[in-house]
Amino acid sequence: MKKNRISKNWINKQRRDIYVRRSKVDGYRSRSAYKLIEIDEKFKIFRNGISVIDLGAAPGSWSQYLSKKIKNSKIISIDLREMEAIHNILQIKGDFTEKKNQSKINDFFKSNVDVVLSDMAVNTTGNKNIDSIYTGELCMEAMIFSKKILNSDGKFISKIFMGSTFNEIITEAKLIFKEVKVFKPKSSRKNSKENFIICKNLR
Count Cβ neighbours within 10 Å for each residue of 182-194 and write b for 16 or more, e otherwise.
Answer: eebbebbeeeebb
- Tell me the C-alpha distance between 56 and 95, whole Å: 9
**Under 8 Å between Cβ of 79 and 57:** yes
**Under 8 Å between Cβ of 116 and 150:** yes
- Tell me the C-alpha distance between 161 and 130, whole Å: 10
- Tell me the C-alpha distance between 192 and 179, whole Å: 25
- Tell me the C-alpha distance between 143 and 199, whole Å: 9
Q: Which residues are catalytic?
A: 159
Phi-psi region of 181 (alpha: psi -120 to 50; beta: other; left: phi over 0): beta
